[in-house]
Amino acid sequence: MARILITSALPYINGIKHLGNLAGSMLPADVYARFQRARGNEVLYVCATDEHGTPAELAAAAAGQEVRAYCDEQHALQRDIGAAFGLSWDWFGRSSSPENRALTQHFADVLEDHGLIEERTDRMIYSIDDKRFLPDRYVEGTCPVCGHRPARGDQCDNCGSLLDPIDLIEPYSAVSASTNLEVRETRHLYLLQTKLQEKIRAFIDSRTDFPALTKSIAYKHLDEGLIDRGITRDLVWGVPVTRRGAPRPGFESKVFYVWFDAPIEYIAATQEWANATGGDWARWWREDQGAGDVRYVEFMGKDNVAFHTVSFPATLIGSGEPWKRVDMLKSFNWLNWYGGKFSTSGKRGVFMDAALEILPADVWRWYLTANAPESSDSAFTWEQFQTLVNKDLADVLGNFVNRILKFTETRFDGVVPEGGEPGDLEARLYADLSAKLAELTGHLEAIEIRKGAQALRAIWVLGNEYLTEAAPWTALKSDRDRAAVIVRTGLNLVALFARLIQPFIPFTAKVVAEAVGETAPTLWPSLDGRAELTRLEPGRPVTAPPVLFKKIEDADVAAWTERFGGAEQG
């Protein structure tokens, strides 16, 4: 039995995430976790909310809440919506946990002990009226390059120039619009990534089976040369800056930057899990305490790859301690909304809560895995969504399950029929199925989510083609034994489907399994088509379930386009 540690990129705390976030990290991680559990492997899948930083502080202030209370509420929202989507986290933690505070402070200590952290003086914009230093993007003004106003302090959206907020003309605070700003000197800790350049390159070189997207991003940053990164900020909400357990002199009003503490939360979330359940976190993360045989797989969108191939490894490698490092970093391109991007701030696209108001989770899970943005960006459109859902789920999978079970109820008293011997048609089906099962299993082992969905769909099609060709309703008129063989084979296909769809559409898997008298469709099938299609014992009662998937009508598409927008925004 293999041991597989799975993490998906931490969603930021402020607000329900859109379907693009789900498609590019949490959902594929869940499909993979469910598949590996079904394979009989020991899996630990952790995720968490990323809670620190200026956006959380400002969102809490806008909501009139203390930031801790705001995060409590938002964390619960995200946890519940994730559960409603069937995300099977073993633990959904919080980067604001005591575990993460202690671990972040520990890493800073050991990195400094190894000469990898030093204090430097920065010049930053201070807003006198807001009583705070402003992060670059919270200073706005006129672009010194093109004259556009407002330009953000980090970048001008009009001409694309990368800016320093100090260079903005007539700057003001994006928090309060106050122009009462001044440049102040402030001390910060820097992580000396330049000293780790060669070690990190050697680490990436050693991960030969990283996907091309992951490697290209990692090497781009390495080739450009790593830079030393500030890992503290002048903020209240975050992990306090300490040295050997005591407040660090001069840093009493500073915290570690989210960029530093968020990935450490993968480990801390495992500690949270261990503290809550009695589990052993160290055997997942410490190679000197049993994690040597763990395979660690990370899931994320491409915007997070640099942090996970350079920054987080810098923390782990620089510590000199035997921490488990990522073995497979599965990265995704963007799921776009028509021609443009989903946008949390612009409220463009469908968000996770609204999605569940209009359709069951499995419909979304299927669409988002069948269109996983793996080799390139993919685009959501209502029309493509309607076509795919109706064809795959209603016409192919749903229709097969209902057709064979209804026929069994009306013609075979609702039990798996006995009698007859499989013939040539079944022999061909066994062979075709064996090949497809190997294909599907291989794609999921390789974390090729989209190809996996295609192979699964091909197996449903195989079942439909068999049933159409074998035509039990015709056979029944002349040869009851022949009809019994076909129906028995069809019911075995239903039972097989229940196990195969479980990673993708787990809620439907449960309904389908129960229809053929199976309670726990947890184990992945063998690759032997014959064995899988002769498994159900004759005489077992079966029941046709209600229609599995309602077709999406043109009127639905019109209503949703009206509610959520569509092509006109693209």
Measured CA to CA, the distance from residue 35 to residue 317 in angstroms comes to 31
CB of 43 closer than 8 Å to CB of 6 = yes
Give me 329's structure tokens.
């970093």
Measured CA to CA, the distance from residue 193 to residue 127 in angstroms comes to 30
Which residue's CB is nearer to Zn ion, number 160 or number 320? 160
Q: Which residues make Cβ contacts (< 8 Å) with residue 379, sequence separation at least 6? A: 335, 336, 337, 338, 339
Report the nearest approach of Zn ion to the CB of residue 169 (Å).
11
- The 3-state DSSP class for residue 277 equals helix
Q: Which residues make Cβ contacts (< 8 Å) with residue 66, sequence separation at least 6? A: 60
Which residue's CB is nearer to Zn ion, number 60 or number 163? 163
Measured CA to CA, the distance from residue 279 to residue 273 in angstroms comes to 7
Report the nearest approach of Zn ion to the CB of residue 163 (Å).
8
Measured CA to CA, the distance from residue 402 to residue 544 in angstroms comes to 6
Which residue's CB is nearer to Zn ion, number 159 or number 183? 159
Which residue's CB is nearer to Zn ion, number 144 or number 517? 144
Q: Cα–Cα distances in Å, from 463 out to 66, 96, 503?
A: 56, 50, 19
Which residue's CB is nearer to Zn ion, number 151 or number 505? 151
Report the nearest approach of Zn ion to the CB of residue 180 (Å).
24
Report the nearest approach of Zn ion to the CB of residue 144 (Å).
8
Which residue's CB is nearer to Zn ion, number 151 or number 329? 151
Which residue's CB is nearer to Zn ion, number 61 or number 166? 166
Which residue's CB is nearer to Zn ion, number 169 or number 438? 169
Report the nearest approach of Zn ion to the CB of residue 140 (Å).
12
- DSSP secondary structure letters along 386-425: HHHIIIIIIIIIIHHHHHHHHHHHHHSTTB--------HH
Which residue's CB is nearer to Zn ion, number 159 or number 523? 159
Which residue's CB is nearer to Zn ion, number 73 or number 167? 167
Measured CA to CA, the distance from residue 62 to residue 472 in angstroms comes to 65
Report the nearest approach of Zn ion to the CB of residue 12 (Å).
27
Report the nearest approach of Zn ion to the CB of residue 197 (Å).
32
Report the nearest approach of Zn ion to the CB of residue 148 (Å).
4
Apex 121 CA angle, 115 and 122, nearest 5: 120
> Count of H helices and E strands in the chain?
22, 18
Write down the H helix ranges in 138-294.
197-206, 212-224, 258-277, 282-285
Query: Where does this chain bind Zn ion (CB under 5 A)?
Result: 143, 145-146, 148, 156, 158-159
- What is the length of the chain? 570
Secondary structure string (H, E, C) spanning 278-332: CCCCHHHHEHHHCHHHEEEEEEEEHHHHHHHHHHHHHHHHHHCCCECCCCEEEEE
Report the nearest approach of Zn ion to the CB of residue 145 (Å).
5
- The 3-state DSSP class for residue 510 equals helix
Report the nearest approach of Zn ion to the CB of residue 171 (Å).
14
